[in-house]
Amino acid sequence: MSIKVMIIDGHADFRSLLMHHVTTHWPDAIISAYDPIMAGTLPDEFSGAGNDIVLLGDSYGERDSLLALQLFAKTTGFPAIIYFGDDNKAQALEAGASAYFQKDEIRHNALVVRMSDLLRSRRRVSSTDSLFVGDMATGIHPLIKGYRFIKRLAVSEHSAVYLAKKESVNVNMVLKVLRQVPDFSDGLGAFDRFLQEYEMIAEMDHPNIVKIYDLGVSDDHAHIAMEFVPGGDLKQRIEHGVLQSGAVEYTRQIASALDRLHSLGILHRDLKPGNIMVRQDGSLALIDFGLAKRMRLEQEITGHGEIFGTPYYMSPEQGHAEEVDERSDIYSLGVIFYEMLTGQKPFVGADAMSIILKHTKSPVPVLPHRLSQHQALLNMLLAKRPEDRLQTAREVLDWL
């Protein structure tokens, strides 16, 4: 399927430049170019219908381009807008742009990556109703056979999660339905590699990794059936308070799971209490491993202060979109260890960037005297530089 791109700017040379960037990567793209100086500004009721993405330049004729941007962004169903301006990034993002580029400093790869990201998101969101909402009156999902759906637990642009019963064995399971968008593939087989990781995990039998029972793939989605853990997650457990001995034991279990994942070359990259389930017997089960690094082509801090991942638990290198390895997961484990011991996050702030900067620059917090015996381990988990941390999850286990 060809993507549909609308380019709006009053300068023909700039429209041609953007067209070149688009067609170099998407040769079959359907492009409509609009000159607001010659043709007049677009009417207020313009909806952007029929386009997958709009590239809007700051040369907009009689009307201020930022006002036009604001009007477009407020229109229900309007496509994602990438704005090209001259040192007015903050205003453009505040007006509703999905992304911003300096008009005279456009880098082809950066533009293609951002467009790909927005196109994938648009396709997932537009397919949410058909993919994620089944006939709940009868409990049958239109795409996944053999499961009776009990209720939807969560939904996002990447996936929907259901509590379901596998009819052949009459057992409750968690069913995650993942959206695949092959039309906008990054060309690296990220979705396929993601599924391969789950296949590897399905073959492993580790007490602290959620059990995978079934993995199915169709033309445009995949589903993963996994163990249903009714005890809630570690986030809820922390809110009710964790004993010092419990914090140590939980840290040991998480480290053991990471040791197994890392031995397969799998990084978690989104380790946080909400991704750690607590079974009824008190044991932990890691979930959502590998999803973070497979479902996004790039990591970036946006002008809205958003960042891929969870800033409270990010290592300094991940927060700055640098290359990460297993030591990044170890840092996240250190954050969780501190939170279990104290009930507080080690670094908080008004927005994502301020938290990331604290992870990078603020000293490792000092534990209260009653917990001082754990300070040495905490220092080695939360060291700013990866080379100063414990290097492997096995080392964490040995220390414990």
Q: Where in 218-298 does DSSP place strands (E)?
A: 221-227, 276-278, 284-286
From the CB of residue 209, how many other CB atoms can be counted at a distance below 10 Å?
21
Q: Diameter of the chain by CA atoms? A: 73
CA angle 361–353–277, rounded 5-degree value = 95
H or E segment at 94? helix 89-95
From the CB of residue 74, how many other CB atoms can be counted at a distance below 10 Å?
10
161, 152 Cβ separation under 8 angstroms: yes
In this structure, what DSSP letter does residue 106 have? -
Q: Compute φ and ψ for 147, nearest 5 degrees.
A: -125, 140
Residue count (the chain):
400
* Separation CA 83–CA 97 (nearest Å): 6
Inter-CA distances, 282 with 227, 241, 253, 353, Å: 15, 14, 11, 35
Catalytic residue among 117, 270, 288, 329: 270
Q: Is 174 helix (H, G, I), strand (E, B) or coil?
A: strand
- Tokens for 174, please give them: 């968690």
Residue whose pair of structure tokens reads 């793209």 in the numeric block: 29
- Tokens for 130, please give them: 């058909």
Residue 205 falls in the annotated catalytic set? no
Strand partners, 179: 221
Q: Where in 113-239 does DSSP place strands (E)?
A: 147-155, 159-166, 171-179, 212-217, 221-227
- Tokens for 109, please give them: 């790869």
325, 337 Cβ separation under 8 angstroms: no
CA nearest to 162, candidates 134, 170, 146, 154: 154
- Tokens for 208, please give them: 């602290």
252, 394 Cβ separation under 8 angstroms: no
Residues tagged active-site: 270
